[in-house]
Structure 1
Amino acid sequence: MDDRSKVRTGLAAVAALCVVATVPGPVGPAWAAPPDGAGEARPYRTAGTSVQGTGEAEGAPLLKPGRGYVDSIAGGEKRHYSVQLDATSGAYVSAVAAPRPGAGVASYRDGLKVTLESPDGTICGNSDRKIEATGVAYPLADYAARQVAPGSVASCRKAGRYLVTVARPAGSQDPARWPLELRLMVEPPVKGGDKEHAPEGSWRTTPPDPPTGKARWRTGGTAFNDARPLSTGVWADQIRPGETHFYRVPVDWGQRLDATAELSAAKTGGTAGVNDALGLRVFNPARGLTKKSSFVAYEGQEARTEVSTIPVAYGNRTARAEYSVRTTSFAGWYYLAVTVSPDVARFFDDVVPLTLRVRVSGTPKPGPTYDGDAVRAGFGLTDADRREAAQGPQTTDDATGVRAGTDNGRLRMVGYVSYAVGGLLLLGLGGWTLAARRRAPAAVAAAPGPGRHRRYGPPSSW
């Protein structure tokens, strides 16, 4: 074997050693190292086609069904858009406004309002959402809906071009423009099947006990677009102070969703407790706010908050009840959003251990018969959806997760040692290569015959 072959062989061996040295072994039962938690809280990740809403109703850009759109909105500003609707389908225009994590927001002052008006100016639906925890910036989301059920406003059951207005109130403490995400979902009309609402007694039933047992790792997404699937069970995650994590759960006709979010006890005491530390919200498949918990305090001991929905039934939309009943009126992916206050950083050096306990209960029912493909429109579930929630996609985040509460310091120490070992090995390789090049002239001088003038060693491009 000549010197060039030796160098190449050595390079391969050292590379293999570096790979082995930089892959940490499992830490804790069945969990490997997560990505380093150090760094800023992740913001909401918008997705969609760029659109520019107008300041006036005239010339408002058209939003098409099933597509996402991205804009931005300032404090005290209104943005106008339009949607073309028929006379038979339900319509839901959602808006998500996402202040950056850590922004200076004020409770019940910062907010977002969405309004849908018929061609003649009649208000068909609206929502008005406010930040409910001072100093805790999190995505505000809800929709304005147009219903065509008997008893709804007659002018809102006509075909035509409807106006969508998204407004952010004046007087915000956050001077920045907020990213804005918009989406129109059109629900096909129903031609038969069960259209009754859930029995009234089910609206106030006691939630079942949360699941127990070993937690499975599932890294939360940053938005509705990358929300991670969950099913009944216990799930572990890690969240940075100031972040909001999104998850999605398949809920069928006749089923209800109960969820609990828990923050683990801190290893060290903080300087002071946090009043609005942990919040949990549920959104329906059209991104309408379905249920929310009040933010709970954290003082270094375990804290938890929970939400519960009623069984999903088509007729809930016309029930004489609170919004949480009316918004539980179609099957599909329901979303969980967990927010942790940036002030929780008083108790944790890095990421915060988070546990989710999710239960979907109730026997699935057939539901109504749609005159169209409701699943394709975003209303309903497939067997593949249920399997995905139970098993979860095989992603890098999940494959490299750790159980909540694992000491990341041990993982970083493994990384530092790995880099040191790798650096020493590379220095050795450099010395090996230099020695080989120095030996090459001597080998040429000693070589007999025509080969005397042949050059050995690595090519000049090495």
Structure 2
Amino acid sequence: MRAVVAGAVLCAASVLPGGSAVAAGAPGGSAYAFAEDDRSVAGARSTTDAALLKPGRTYRSSISRGVKLSYRLELDATTTAYVPVTLVPPANATVTASDGIRVSLQDADGTPCSYASARFGGGLSPRPLTALGMRETGKTLCQGDGPYYLLVERLDATGSESASSSGAWDLELAPVAEPRLEKAGATTAPEAWDSASPEALADDPGQRSGGAGFATARALEQGVWRTGIEPGQTLFYKVPVDWGQQLYATAELGSSSSDGGYVNGALDLALHNPVRGHVDDVARGYTGSQTTATVAPLPPVEYRNRYAVTDDVRGMRFAGFYYVVVHLSAKMADTFGKGPFGLTLRVRVSGTPHAGPGYAGQPEQHKLFEVTPQDRQAAAAGAAADSGGGDPAMKAVAVAGIGTGTALLVLLGAWTVVARRRAGAQIRVSAQKPTA
């Protein structure tokens, strides 16, 4: 009985103001939803003191301005490693276009395996930024086993004295290990694919709110989806894309009733692959009329895309959930009001899935580089990422997107069931007692 009540309470909390699920991704709020099982780890000023990161786990850390932090991984010679690092600035941070994050992965001799950076750009709006460090097998450098070091640096414009920028900013690190192939395949990237933009989807839009982080990204299947977004808010979605399939994504920001004004980089649409690696990023200004950001046509997902020259093609290297991330500039509030503004997402997945390349083992995250029937079911249902245990029935109710009134009815109904069963139990006990 307690489980019924607890499930109802959790369900109500997920939709009521002040509930933890709402607080994590509340409209207008820039709070990032870290994974519930994140482990705290401190970055070191020297590689000598670097804490160990283990693939398959996620970590939470922080970084101050002007500091370069080190973390350690222990890798074998046959595994490709990815370490996405997400920088989470506070909502009131003042940022410049060149502010952001830079990461690199190095071997024990200081040889760089990779460099990557992410910056806020012309929108000048604080939002989560992700850069990926990686060690790939089959290359010339960084091929031995042993310790490797992840170096993380927060980029800040010289002379920035903003109080909000001077404090420590949060980090989320999510290292992933990709097993070697059972049998080697082609080592050249495809040179041509269907790069024509498909016919726009004309379906009636369904309602689908977004998550507030990678860990809570809302699953989407092909279709047209609508929600509201407020200045400063970032919405996370995930779409299952199998081997041999292509993904197309468009975000449309609806028109405003306010006249005049212009916000540079108001709408930002980013695409990340299953290890959170950057694939593409498109920003659009806003004048009050509707505007659209569209991810460039990308090749079908294939293992050999990793041998391409351009980052967007290289990013489409494995099957799994691809993340569609939408941000609305905080500066929209000054010119066009607090919103919410209408947001329409059009997502298309085309192509016939085929078998994967054949890994010689499973990654630490089970079935990370494939699309399972359960993944497709989650996308069809619009499931939020599972952040822990709980009653499946209550999760199903939450997935359905119930409103506050419905949640209260569920809660009251649960209490009624419990009360009636307790009363019935007391009557049976009383009836069984011997009379004096």
Which range, TM-score by smaller chain? 0.7 to 0.9
Displacement of 1:40 after TM fit? Answer: 4.3
Query: 2:147 is matched with which residue: 130, 140, 161?
Result: 161
Q: How has the CA–CA distance of structure 1 residues 99 and 254 changed in structure 2, closer, same or farther, with 3 Å as cutoff?
A: same
Displacement of 1:212 after TM fit? Answer: 1.6
Q: Which moved more, 1:282-291 or 1:170-179?
A: 170-179
Query: 2:105 is matched with which residue: 102, 105, 116?
Result: 116
Show structure 1 runs of 4+ deviating over 4 A: 35-40, 193-198
- Helix, strand or coil at the partner of 2:274: coil
Supply the distance in 2 between the matched residues of 1:38 and 1:197 (Cα, whole angstroms). 45
Supply the distance in 2 between the matched residues of 1:96 and 1:83 (Cα, whole angstroms). 18
Supply the distance in 2 between the matched residues of 1:197 and 1:253 (Cα, whole angstroms). 17
Aligned residue number for residue 12 of structure 1: none
Supply the distance in 1 between the matched residues of 2:376 and 2:52 (Cα, whole angstroms). 34
Q: How has the CA–CA distance of structure 1 residues 40 and 296 changed in structure 2, closer, same or farther, with 3 Å as cutoff?
A: closer
Supply the distance in 2 between the matched residues of 1:395 and 1:43 (Cα, whole angstroms). 25
Q: Which moved more, 1:99-108 or 1:364-373?
A: 99-108
The one-letter amino acid of 2:174's match is: R
Query: Is 1:262 the counterpart of 2:248 in the alignment?
Result: no
The one-letter amino acid of 1:183's match is: A
The one-letter amino acid of 1:143's match is: L
Task: Count residues with an aligned counterpart.
Answer: 362
Aligned residue number for residue 344 of structure 1: 332
How do residues 279-290 of structure 1 correspond to structure 2 at under 5 angstroms?
Answer: 279-290=268-279
Query: Is 1:67 the counterpart of 2:57 in the alignment?
Result: yes
Displacement of 1:85 after TM fit? Answer: 0.3
Displacement of 1:258 after TM fit? Answer: 0.7
Which structure: larger Rg?
1
Aligned residue number for residue 145 of structure 1: 134
Q: Is the 8 A contact 1:210 1:358 kept in 2?
A: no
Q: How has the CA–CA distance of structure 1 residues 195 and 384 changed in structure 2, closer, same or farther, with 3 Å as cutoff?
A: farther
Aligned residue number for residue 20 of structure 1: none
Q: Which moved more, 1:175-184 or 1:165-174?
A: 165-174
Query: 2:342 is matched with which residue: 345, 353, 356?
Result: 353
Q: How has the CA–CA distance of structure 1 residues 136 and 270 changed in structure 2, closer, same or farther, with 3 Å as cutoff?
A: farther
Aligned residue number for residue 399 of structure 1: 401
Displacement of 1:207 after TM fit? Answer: 2.0
- Helix, strand or coil at the partner of 1:380: coil
Supply the distance in 2 between the matched residues of 1:396 and 1:317 (Cα, whole angstroms). 38
| CA displacement, residues 375-422 of structure 1 (integer Å, 9 cap, x when unaligned) | 616222211101111222345375247xxxxxxxxx9xx9xxxxxxxx
RMSD across aligned positions (CA): 2.4
Q: How has the CA–CA distance of structure 1 residues 233 and 227 changed in structure 2, closer, same or farther, with 3 Å as cutoff?
A: same
Q: How has the CA–CA distance of structure 1 residues 214 and 365 changed in structure 2, closer, same or farther, with 3 Å as cutoff?
A: same
Supply the distance in 2 between the matched residues of 1:41 and 1:136 (Cα, whole angstroms). 13
Query: Is 1:80 the counterpart of 2:70 in the alignment?
Result: yes
Query: Is 1:373 the counterpart of 2:362 in the alignment?
Result: yes
Q: Is the 8 A contact 1:280 1:307 kept in 2?
A: yes
Query: Is 1:192 the counterpart of 2:183 in the alignment?
Result: yes
| TM score, norm. by length of structure 1 | 0.74
Q: Is the 8 A contact 1:233 1:358 kept in 2?
A: yes
Q: Is the 8 A contact 1:242 1:342 kept in 2?
A: yes
Displacement of 1:224 after TM fit? Answer: 0.4
- Helix, strand or coil at the partner of 2:127: coil
Query: Is 1:237 the counterpart of 2:227 in the alignment?
Result: yes
Supply the distance in 1 between the matched residues of 2:104 and 2:125 (Cα, whole angstroms). 25
Aligned residue number for residue 288 of structure 2: 300
Q: Is the 8 A contact 2:47 2:70 kept in 1?
A: yes
Q: Structure 2: any 5+ residue segments left out of the alignment? A: 1-21, 384-395, 406-436
Displacement of 1:112 after TM fit? Answer: 0.5
Displacement of 1:133 after TM fit? Answer: 2.3
Supply the distance in 2 between the matched residues of 1:286 and 1:388 (Cα, whole angstroms). 19
- Helix, strand or coil at the partner of 1:387: helix
Q: Structure 1: any 5+ residue segments left out of the alignment? A: 1-34, 402-410, 415-462
Supply the distance in 2 between the matched residues of 1:197 and 1:378 (Cα, whole angstroms). 24
Displacement of 1:278 after TM fit? Answer: 0.2
Q: Is the 8 A contact 2:230 2:340 kept in 1?
A: yes
How do residues 29-68 of structure 1 correspond to structure 2 at under 5 angstroms?
Answer: 40-47=28-35, 48-68=38-58
How do residues 98-109 of structure 1 correspond to structure 2 at under 5 angstroms?
Answer: 98-108=88-98
Supply the distance in 1 between the matched residues of 2:249 and 2:207 (Cα, whole angstroms). 16
Aligned residue number for residue 321 of structure 2: 333
Displacement of 1:343 after TM fit? Answer: 2.3
Displacement of 1:282 after TM fit? Answer: 0.3
- Helix, strand or coil at the partner of 1:168: strand
Supply the distance in 2 between the matched residues of 1:395 and 1:64 (Cα, whole angstroms). 35
Query: 2:217 is matched with which residue: 227, 233, 239?
Result: 227
Aligned residue number for residue 310 of structure 1: 299
- Helix, strand or coil at the partner of 1:206: coil
- Helix, strand or coil at the partner of 1:225: helix
Q: Is the 8 A contact 1:38 1:351 kept in 2?
A: no
| TM score, norm. by length of structure 2 | 0.78
| CA displacement, residues 80-139 of structure 1 (integer Å, 9 cap, x when unaligned) | 10001011011001100011234211102x010111111221111120221112421111
Q: How has the CA–CA distance of structure 1 residues 318 and 342 changed in structure 2, closer, same or farther, with 3 Å as cutoff?
A: same
Query: Is 1:205 the counterpart of 2:195 in the alignment?
Result: yes
- Helix, strand or coil at the partner of 2:369: coil
Q: Is the 8 A contact 1:124 1:153 kept in 2?
A: no
The one-letter amino acid of 1:327's match is: G
Query: Is 1:126 the counterpart of 2:115 in the alignment?
Result: yes
Aligned residue number for residue 8 of structure 1: none
